[in-house]
A and B are shown apart, each in its own frame.
Chain A
């Protein structure tokens, strides 16, 4: 009877132990001055890239530099800095690399406008091909000599066909 009571408690405790182990990833606890700052912090730490890691944002990364930058980001936001000021701060130190959404500049024109340009070229190619097709269909109208040749060919074919069917019929 005692076991029946104790066992679930034991199981729950053991499960709880596992849960706490799983949640033990190093995540700082920040106290934000208001909800908006918290949302902005979360958004910016997803937008900013960890400079040491090749492809992780600040929110994801456990590297020491990311933890430092999260702290810095928190400090800047608590000081009341605007998003653009925070981004400028990071870019001034770590370069455009830290931005997951690179700014539009002469270096990134091809990145921003390349896909649109490719679609444009694709559309032009499709239009050109379609136009060519309609032109060849117009050309397919036969002139009178060709028409007569065709009739003759068809007639010959019909003749040979009927004779061959009759010959096979005879064999049977």
Chain B
């Protein structure tokens, strides 16, 4: 008993050290979205390329959807773009864009200059859909399943590594759910 009490401070310090050391390697920017597990919010907005054409939630759903939040004012989006062009060829997912608080002309130019990987981009000039999705920056990517439920939010650029680590397992899981008829 005495031995335990004598070593108690040491044990506590080691425990506290472990907790704090773990804290050093955590990313404080990495926050789970409040919307994971909820259905995609409703919206009625125009597409980026055609100002007269409006799209709604119904136009997005059906497949496994990747909704990529992007803007021309966002440098990381430029870094991410070539990988998105690659990703557009992936048959497992359908890629849509959400042009977030941007200038329509500049965004259209961007897509002609760097290729357009999106089926279409939603033009969210005032960030209303962005607000409903809890977007606080760009790039962000949402994974929406075949029922229209948001399964994941990823803040930051997608590249080969993050795709393999963050997205592929989830997409496999959703596909197996699809096959089981869930």
Query: Which residues, 1 to 43 on B, are CB-close (under 8 Å) to A?
Result: 28-29, 31-35
Are A93 and B131 in contact (CB-based, < 8 A)?
yes
| A94 close to chain B: CB less than 8 A | yes
Are A91 and B137 in contact (CB-based, < 8 A)?
no
Across the interface, B31 reaches (CB within 8 A) one of A69, A72, A95, namely A95
| B104 close to chain A: CB less than 8 A | no
| Closest A residue, CB atoms, query B29 | A54
Given A93-B133, A94-B136, A95-B134 in contact, is the A68-B28 Cβ separation under 8 Å?
no
Q: Chain B: how many interface residues by the 8 Å CB criterion?
A: 15
| Closest B residue, CB atoms, query A97 | B31
| Closest B residue, CB atoms, query A68 | B127
B127 → A minimal CB distance (Å):
6
Interface majority SS (helix, strand, loop, mixed), chain A: helix
Which chain B residues lie closer than 8 Å to A52 at the CB level? 136-137
Are A94 and B101 in contact (CB-based, < 8 A)?
no
A160 → B minimal CB distance (Å):
38
Query: Which residues, 112 to 131 on B, are CB-close (under 8 Å) to A?
Result: 127, 131
Q: Chain A: how many interface residues by the 8 Å CB criterion?
A: 15
| A135 close to chain B: CB less than 8 A | no
Which chain B residues lie closer than 8 Å to A92 at the CB level? 34
| Closest B residue, CB atoms, query A53 | B136
Which chain A residues lie closer than 8 Å to B34 at the CB level? 91-96
Are A68 and B137 in contact (CB-based, < 8 A)?
no
Are A93 and B101 in contact (CB-based, < 8 A)?
no
Are A72 and B137 in contact (CB-based, < 8 A)?
no
Q: When each residue 64-83 of chain A gets 1 if its CB lies under 8 Å from chain B and 0 otherwise, what string results?
A: 11001100100000000000
Query: Which residues, 98 to 115 on B, are CB-close (under 8 Å) to A?
Result: 101
A61 → B minimal CB distance (Å):
11
Report the bound CA distance from A91 to B133 in whole Å. 11
Across the interface, A51 reaches (CB within 8 A) one of B28, B32, B136, namely B136
Report the bound CA distance from A49 to B19 in whole Å. 25
Report the bound CA distance from A151 to B83 in whole Å. 94
Q: Which of B131, B132, B133 has the most CB of A within 10 A?
A: B131
Which chain A residues lie closer than 8 Å to B35 at the CB level? 93
Report the bound CA distance from A97 to B29 in whole Å. 11
| Closest A residue, CB atoms, query B32 | A95
Report the bound CA distance from A69 to B28 in whole Å. 21
Which chain A residues lie closer than 8 Å to B131 at the CB level? 68-69, 72, 93
Besides A52-B136, A68-B131, 19 new A-B residue pairs in contact (Cβ under 8 A), listed by A number: A51-B31, A51-B136, A54-B29, A64-B101, A65-B136, A69-B131, A72-B131, A93-B34, A93-B35, A93-B131, A93-B133, A93-B134, A94-B34, A94-B136, A95-B32, A95-B33, A95-B134, A96-B34, A97-B31
Question: Which 3 residue pairs of A and B lie closest in terms of their CB atoms, listed nearest first?
Answer: A95-B34, A93-B134, A51-B136
B interface residues with partner A (beta carbon < 8 Å): 28-29, 31-35, 101, 127, 131-134, 136-137
A interface residues with partner B (beta carbon < 8 Å): 51-52, 54, 64-65, 68-69, 72, 91-97
What are 21 A-B residue pairs whose CB atoms fall within 8 Å in the complex? Answer: A51-B31, A51-B134, A51-B136, A52-B136, A54-B28, A54-B29, A64-B101, A65-B136, A65-B137, A69-B131, A91-B34, A92-B34, A93-B34, A93-B35, A93-B131, A93-B132, A93-B133, A94-B136, A95-B31, A95-B134, A97-B31
